[in-house]
Structure 1
Amino acid sequence: MEFNLTTTAGVLLALIVAGTAVLSAAGVMATSTVLMMVTPAMLVFGIICVAVGVKHGEYRARAS
């Protein structure tokens, strides 16, 4: 599987949607809390992780 921007964004969004759905369905916290606080935090953390992963991949490609 080749990861390009579209595939990476799709996988990230699918994980965020799945996590939001599970947290909302579990009833651990109010749905408004999940949608206004947890989901944006998951999205920001996911974007940071993708950026770090891309930079690490670039480093590994140069080092080899």
Structure 2
Amino acid sequence: MEFDRNTTLGIFLLLVVVGVGGLVGSSVMATSTVLMMVLPSVLVFGGVCLFLGMRYGEYRATN
């Protein structure tokens, strides 16, 4: 499977939507708390991990 920008972004957003949707659906926290605190932190942390993973993959591919 070829991971280009669109595929990677789609899978990333799908994981975020499933995670946040499951948290909202399970009623563990108030919906406003999930959308105002959890969603932004998941996006930032996921973005940092995605960036570091891509850079490490590039490093591994060239060495």
TM-score with structure 2 setting the length? 0.95
Whole-Å separation in 1 of the counterparts to 2:55 and 2:62:
11
Answer yes or no: is 1:23 the counterpart of 2:23.
yes
Deviations 1:4-63 (A, max 9, x none): 110000000001100111000111100000001101111111111110011101110111
Please list, as runs of the form range in 1=range in 2, the aligned pairs for 1:1-64 lying within 5 A after superposition. Answer: 1-63=1-63
Whole-Å separation in 1 of the counterparts to 2:44 and 2:5:
16
- Equivalent position amino acid for 2:5 in 1: L
Q: Return 5+ residue gaps in structure 1 as ranges.
A: none
Whole-Å separation in 2 of the counterparts to 1:27 and 1:5:
33
Q: Return 5+ residue gaps in structure 2 as ranges.
A: none
Deviating beyond 6 angstroms after TM superposition, the runs of 4 or more aligned structure 1 residues are none
TM-score with structure 1 setting the length? 0.94
Task: State percent identity of aligned pairs.
Answer: 54
Q: How many pairs were matched up?
A: 63
